[in-house]
């Protein structure tokens, strides 16, 4: 079957009722999501009525292109409906409590997708809602992104275990998710950041422990060239995430040596690909030449977000209450 296949015996269900971070998903959960995502991509028509009559609430405190469109398309293309709730102003918990929002929504819809600043907002929604909650990005985690990324790498290379991936830039939410989910898949991840911008130490420790069990490794570096050496994939993200715009000018100076350009890519494996979760700031974290090169698989990553989100929605909503 799939190049990502792991024997998940007699299991069509996740071990969790929510997807609030990469932490809670077991190794088997990750493989199950990726396997179903592959099936959906190969035969989307087979799932055209999978969530017929189901309703999904999208709560967004942050702007979005890929996340909003893919979740709305995922629901409508499987027979469901998505309702967008703009919470840029006021943010969750300011007009009424997060608990009350959760208790109301659970009576009207079948699932909640939340894109927030604070991880605690998603955690609180999941704590109080009797329906599944999916993290569509917080300041700490971005699980849907990591799942789509590893699906893309699996397609490109035919394997994931023992792959070497380099993440260059800020030790942010995407970095956290790549480390923890990658560790469950046996991927080795080199993270290169300026001093003081490393990923959270607690998450690094957790990812290292998981990696040891699955044959992967997690290494932190301050030299991007060292981190990229021999990597099959080189990944970067914006230097100033949403909510950090006030520090963009300073970060541009600090992160300038960490730009992924042709010179840095030349240190990676000869067949290495370039990855970015998007949106990209061309000429900052990535050069125009790398972004638009044949090595770039950024749009494949964006496409595959749709399929992993379809898989997540089916596994969580369809199995809810069984």
Residues designated catalytic: 115, 142, 145, 237, 277, 305
Task: Report the C-alpha gap between 83 and 236 in whole angstroms.
Answer: 32
Structure letter (DSSP) for residue 245: G
**Residue 164 forms beta bridges with which residues?**
188
Task: Report the C-alpha gap between 59 and 240 in whole angstroms.
Answer: 23
**What contacts 146, CB < 8 A, 6 or more positions away?**
22, 174, 177, 178, 180, 181, 182
Of 178, 277, 296, 180, the closest CA to residue 236 belongs to: 277
**Residue 188 forms beta bridges with which residues?**
164
Cα distances from 69 to residues 10, 58, 175, 192, 289, in angstroms, run 33, 11, 23, 31, 27
Task: Report the C-alpha gap between 309 and 147 in whole angstroms.
Answer: 9
Residue 186 Ramachandran class (φ > 0 left, ψ -120 to 50 alpha, else beta): left
């Amino acid at each position: 079957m799939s190049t990502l296949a792991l024997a998940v015996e007699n299991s069509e269900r996740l071990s969790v009722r929510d997807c609030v971070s990469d932490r809670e998903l077991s190794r088997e959960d990750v493989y199950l999501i990726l396997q179903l995502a592959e099936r959906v991509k190969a035969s989307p028509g087979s799932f055209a009525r999978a969530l017929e009559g189901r309703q999904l609430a999208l709560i967004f405190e942050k702007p979005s292109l890929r996340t909003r469109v893919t979740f709305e398309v995922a629901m409508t293309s499987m027979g469901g409906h998505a309702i967008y709730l703009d919470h840029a102003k006021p943010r969750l918990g300011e007009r009424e409590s997060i608990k009350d929002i959760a208790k109301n929504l659970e009576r009207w819809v079948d699932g909640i997708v939340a894109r927030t600043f604070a991880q605690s907002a998603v955690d609180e929604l999941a704590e109080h809602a009797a329906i599944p909650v999916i993290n569509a990005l917080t300041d700490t985690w971005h699980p849907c992104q990591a799942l789509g990324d590893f699906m893309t790498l699996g397609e490109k290379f035919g394997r994931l275990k023992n792959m070497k991936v380099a993440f260059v830039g800020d030790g942010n939410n995407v970095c956290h998710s790549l480390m923890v989910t990658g560790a469950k898949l046996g991927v080795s991840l080199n993270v290169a950041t300026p001093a003081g911008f490393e990923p959270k130490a607690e998450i690094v420790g957790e990812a290292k422990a998981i990696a040891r069990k699955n044959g992967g490794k997690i290494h932190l570096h301050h030299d991007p060239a060292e981190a990229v050496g021999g990597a099959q994939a080189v990944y970067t993200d914006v230097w100033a995430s949403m909510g950090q715009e006030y520090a963009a000018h300073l970060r541009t100076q600090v992160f300038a040596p960490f730009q992924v350009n042709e010179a840095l890519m030349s240190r990676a494996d000869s067949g290495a690909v370039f990855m970015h979760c998007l949106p990209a700031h061309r000429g900052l974290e990535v050069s125009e030449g790398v972004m638009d090169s044949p090595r770039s698989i950024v749009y494949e990553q964006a496409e595959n977000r749709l399929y992993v989100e379809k898989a997540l929605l089916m596994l969580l909503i369809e199995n809810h209450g069984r």
